[in-house]
Structure 1
Amino acid sequence: MSFIKASVAAFTLSIVSLLGIVHLSEAKPQTPQRIRFDPPTPPDPGEPSDRGQGGGSRGPCEERYQSFTALVPVIRPDTLWGLTVRDRPTVWFSLPAQLNTEAPAQWRLQDAKGKLIYKTILRIPKTTSTSQIISLSVPTTAPPLTKGTYRWELAIFCDESIDTPVVRRGTIEHMTASPKLQQELAIAKTPLERATNYAKYGIWYDALSELGTQIRVSKNNNAIAAWNELLQQQNLTAPPTITPCCTTK
């Protein structure tokens, strides 16, 4: 009888232990979010659009480049806008897969009054079986940005015999970093920490650039995860396959 009681007690203890393990497993916290973008207050309507729309009538070019996307938040339907504190910010784009030929493109930047700041002709690279990410910056040959609004445009001519390009447009709002942001950036030790600081203050262009630059250099897993999280928070997706861009025509 004592043997039976001991066996029952051992069985009961095993069940309790098993339930405890299951309970602890279910209660295990999820991986904490690496980055959180706090959207700033957008400006009044009027900024240029075309994240997902072509610059002309639909045809072979627009169909081929349908997934050509500017990785910038949409603050209103078809209106792209973001902040930067850098005097030479970077804009990131997602190119469609399987582009078999290089394509000429025009990259230009204007101020709020329409004055041309910079313009150049580029060659957009070929892509593989997956979409590719490219980045375009304000080069050192152009004046540095100061506080104010600037409008960028990337127009791709997928066929040099066709005059109507596929166009994506957006806005950069340059601002001065707050003393608190400057302090946090000064003590940040990694690109991910700097990106997190930028995102917390709503500085989109610089947050994404910190992550994209690190991924291009080192394929850092934490940076890749943060890249995906940041884009998803603005309903964007772009596998972090970054390709060099671009040769000057």
Structure 2
Amino acid sequence: MNFFGRRKNNAGGGTASGGGGGGGGGGGGGGGKTSVSDPGSALQQVKTQVATLEKRIEHLEKRAQAQLKEAKRLSMAKNRSGAMQALKRKKMHEKEIDKLRNAVANLEQQAFAIENASTTVDIVQGMKAGRAAAQAIQKQVNVEDVEDLKDDIAEQMQTQSEIDDILATQLGDAADDDELLAELEDLDEDEEDELADLDDDLEGLGISSAPAASKTSPPSYAAATSLPAAPTSKVTTSATEEDEDAKALAALEAEMAM
């Protein structure tokens, strides 16, 4: 009885076919097995094999459950020998299931490796394409040209900065206040010197000059530009102003009396 669902081969036929198969394998060499260069095809073959093994495992699990039921039935029938044989067949199915599950795990690991390798190939191809594109772009740009361009831009910026500085300066000779005050003081001193020389000339001619007390020197720039201090006492009017006010008041009273 075949518990694994496999076809039994005749011993003689198996030997003959085995010898023929060995000869065919030796003669075929590399032509007997086809190498798969496409990762997608290889991955599909692995997944197909995994699906086949899973179906085989499912079939064996059903047979193991059937042997377990058979062992229970024979045990209840007091057929211990038959029950023991059924349990042995169940154990054989379970060992085959474990072997197939290990094979499935190995195939799944191989499929995972193929997927990773395929992803790596895609990454490398993408990097190569990026490198080729970068090289093509860099051929259009020279390092020396970039340096010259940078220098030209820096020179233009420097020129523009100088132009801005020139436009920011005031047109003409703008002298500051300190220089103007110093020049005005020099003019005052020159005028005083001229007055002193004039007095000397008048004395030489026998003409007396104005008393020193009454002689006034021209005011300095600070005195000329300063405002007079506000009066602190009551301002008194002159006699002329009082007479005019009295006349105006008398005229007003005369008009009112009429």
Please indicate the TM-score interval, normalised by the length of the shorter structure: under 0.3
Point out the structure with the larger helix share. Answer: 2
Greater CA radius of gyration, 1 or 2? 2
Taking structure 2 as the reference length, the TM-score comes to 0.17
- Structure possessing the higher relative contact order (Cα contacts under 8 Å, 6 or more residues apart): 1
